[in-house]
Amino acid sequence: MTSYLQRSFNKYSAIASMAIKARLAYSLWFWSDFISTLAMMVIYTYFWRAVYSQTETLGGLALNQTITYILMARILAPLVETRMIFAFGFMIREGGVAMELTRPLDFQFRYLVENLAEMGVFLVQRIPVFLIAWLFMGMQLPADPALWGAFFVSLFLGLLVIFLFDWSFACLAFYTTETWGLSAMRLSIGSFFSGALIPLTILPGWLQNITVVLPFSQTISVPISFLSGISSFSDAGRIWSVQLAWLVGLLIFSRLIFNRAVRKITVQGG
C-alpha cells in the first residue's frame, strides 16, 4: 500500500510540476494580463464611484463594500473562465483522448491536479495586482484572520466545485463535432452568474434565485463575500455545507456522465 501511494504521489506531483512550469513559461501572457487587469480595475472603480454618486447604498452594499468586492472579483475572475469543453473537443477531434484514456492514471484526477497547480501559480502571480488594489484603489480588507481563513477555505471548495461542473459540461464534447460555441456560452454565463462582473446581491430577486441553482457563484461571489462584509464568520458553516453539497453531488454526477459519454467517442476523419 505504501509503495502504491508513493508511486501515485510521484506521478501526480510530476503532473503538477509540469503544469506549473508551463504556466511560468509564458511571461508575455503574464504582463499582458497584468496590464489589462489593472486597466479594468481602474475602469470599474470609477464606474462604481459614479453609480454611488447619487446614493449611499445599493442592494444593501455601501460604496466601500462594492469597491472591495469588485476589485477582488476582477483579481479572481479568470478562475471561473475555464475552457475545458474546448480542450475536450480538441482532444477528441485530434484523437488525443484515446491516448489519455490508456494512461495508468485517473483521467479526471490527473486534470484536477493540473488545474489546481495552475490555479496556485495564478494566485501567486496575482499578488502584485492585489497589493496595488489594496494600497492605491481603496480596497478595504478585514483584519480578522478568521475571515481570511473562511475566504481561503471557501475559495478552495469553490475551485473544486467549478472544476467538477466544467468536467460534466465538457462531456458534451463527446456528442458534437464543434465545441467553440459551447465554450463561448459557458464563458459568458459563468462570468455573469459567478459575480465576476457585478455583486450578485444587487441583482433583482428572480436573478438571484437563478444564481442559487447554478454553481458559478461558489468560486467568486461566495468567497469574496467574507472579505467585503457581505458574509460574517458565523455564516461560514452554512456556506461550507452548501459548497460541500455541491461538491459531493457534482463528483458523483461528473463520474457517471463521463463514463457514459466516453462511449460516444468519434474522432473526426477517422
End-to-end Cα spacing for the chain: 41
- How does pLDDT run across 231-265, given as a tens digit for each residue? 999 999 999 999 999 999 999 999 999 988 877 66
**pLDDT confidence of residue 270:** 45
Question: Residue 58 belongs to what H/E stretch?
Answer: strand 57-58
Q: Catalogue the long-range contacts made by 165-169 (C-beta closer than 8 Å, 24 or more residues apart).
A: 165/215, 165/216, 165/250, 165/254, 166/82, 166/84, 166/85, 167/84, 167/108, 167/111, 167/254, 167/258, 168/250, 168/253, 168/254, 168/257, 168/258, 169/84, 169/85
Low-confidence ranges of the chain (pLDDT < 70): 1, 3-5, 7, 9-11, 22-27, 95, 98, 264-270
**pLDDT confidence of residue 1:** 65
Across the strands, what pairs with 58?
61
**pLDDT confidence of residue 154:** 97
Across the strands, what pairs with 61?
58
Q: Are 80 and 222 in contact (CB under 8 A)?
A: no
Q: Alpha-carbon distance 126 to 240, whole Å? A: 25
User: pTM for the whole thing?
Assistant: 0.90
